[in-house]
Amino acid sequence: MKKIYTISLLIVLFNCAPKKEIKQTSLTVSFERLSPLLDAVMSNEVTVSVIAQGCEWSEGPLWLEDKQMLLFSDVPTNTIYQWTEKEGAKVYLKPSGYTSTIPNPKVQGSNGLTLDAEGHLIICQHGDRRIAMMNSSIDQPKADFTTIAYELNGKRFNSPNDVVVNNYDFYFTDPPYGLIKQMEDSSKEIPFQGVYQFTSNKKTLILIDSLTRPNGLAFSPDNKKLYIANSDPEKAVWYEYELNAFRQIVSGKIFYDATVNTKDEKGLPDGMKVDAQGNIFATGPGGIWIFSGGGELLGKIKVPEATSNCALTPDGKTLFVTNDMQVLKIKLRN
């Protein structure tokens, strides 16, 4: 039985653009319960806080459990921010994704963030068109990077968007959003939008070359499935791919098609996270879509502006959402 309940709030704890006047209006969040299985994921006493506002386009949230700290990108401003309950938010790293001294009319900084198997910060660098590792420690960030992957057979990537690490391999998507004119830009060297695996022996493997706008990606808890979001308004689809023992794709299918929802709701299938039970939290048209691992749509968290990505705490009780110019903290259950 479908159940909808709504709350309105405004709790702004940090302004990403302190010198910019921000018009503060109340944020209305609604929750749709589409399956009784949602009760195991979130309670009826959900609380929502706006923990950052005034960003140009927030992305790539990464929760660091041992430090109780959230990192997130503001892509157009070439900045990574950090947030903690105690200190609020502040600049963490700048520049974060475009390190050249050559002026760029479309500066694109960092996007997706993750940690490698040894705890180093891994960054999708839109502007530099690569996957890179920050050389300094998490506690003492510096704009000093080592390139992990930047080309396929001598041709540069478009603009790596999101990345996950599985064991010592890197899996990432490469849509053209960071290129100045996207598909028509003369700097585009690869004729498709790929999904790649960069292996521990430093080989770049093409996993998929047929998606129009591959974006967010995540593994199932047993590593037997890879979920990929396609951020194309004409084909707004989440895909599910079966993997072999080497975590390479064996077969694929449409997990859920949300194309019809893009006609009247903001946002597209984008970043996603999977909890320990296999439930999928996927940013999409209208907000956050919550699926079971079996493909059942359990419910939605609906917000007015487009969502780009999300991060879960390991216990599954708190969800952080990058929501256009702001970042939300959603307490799903106590």
Domains and CATH numbers, the chain: 56-313 (2.120.10.30)
pLDDT confidence of residue 19:
40
> What pLDDT, on the 0 to 100 scale, is given for residue 181?
60
Omega of the bond prior to 221 within 30 degrees of 0, cis?
A: no
pLDDT at position 5: 52
DSSP classification of residue 36: G
Give the pair of three-digit tokens for residue 138: 């998490």
DSSP 3-state of 154: coil
Task: Give the Å distances, CA to CA, from 169 to 165, 179, 200, 225, 250.
Answer: 6, 26, 5, 15, 17
- pLDDT at position 250: 92
Among all chains, which residue has been given the structure tokens 């079996």? Answer: 294
Q: What are phi and psi of 200, to 5 degrees?
A: -65, -20
Rounded to two decimals, the pTM is: 0.92
DSSP 67: G
| Extended beta strands in 76-162, E state | 79-84, 88-93, 110-115, 121-125, 130-134, 145-149, 151-152, 155-156
Dihedral sign for Cα atoms in the order 70, 323, 99, 162: positive
Q: Residue 24: which H helix or E strand, with range? A: none
Which pLDDT belongs to residue 10? Answer: 45
Read out DSSP for 182-196? GGG-TT--SSS-EEE
- Only one residue has tokens 């990403």, namely 16
Give backbone dihedrals phi and psi of 64, rounded to 5 degrees, phi first. Answer: -105, 100
pLDDT value at residue 314: 97
Residues 221, 276 contacting (CB under 8 angstroms): yes
Question: With a cut of 70, which residues of the chain have pLDDT below it?
Answer: 1-26, 107, 180-185
Cα 139 to Cα 128: distance, rounded to the nearest angstrom: 24
Amino acid making up residue 290: I
Task: Give residue 44's pLDDT.
Answer: 83
Token look-up 């790293």 returns 93
Query: What pLDDT is recorded for position 172?
Result: 98
pLDDT of residue 150: 97
Residues 174 and 185 sit within 8 Å (Cβ to Cβ):
no
The pLDDT score that the predictor gives to residue 180 is 66
**Residue 275's Cα: distance from chain center in Å?**
15
Spatial CB neighbours of 114, under 8 Å, sequence gap ≥ 6 = 62, 122, 163, 164, 165
At 238 the pLDDT is 98
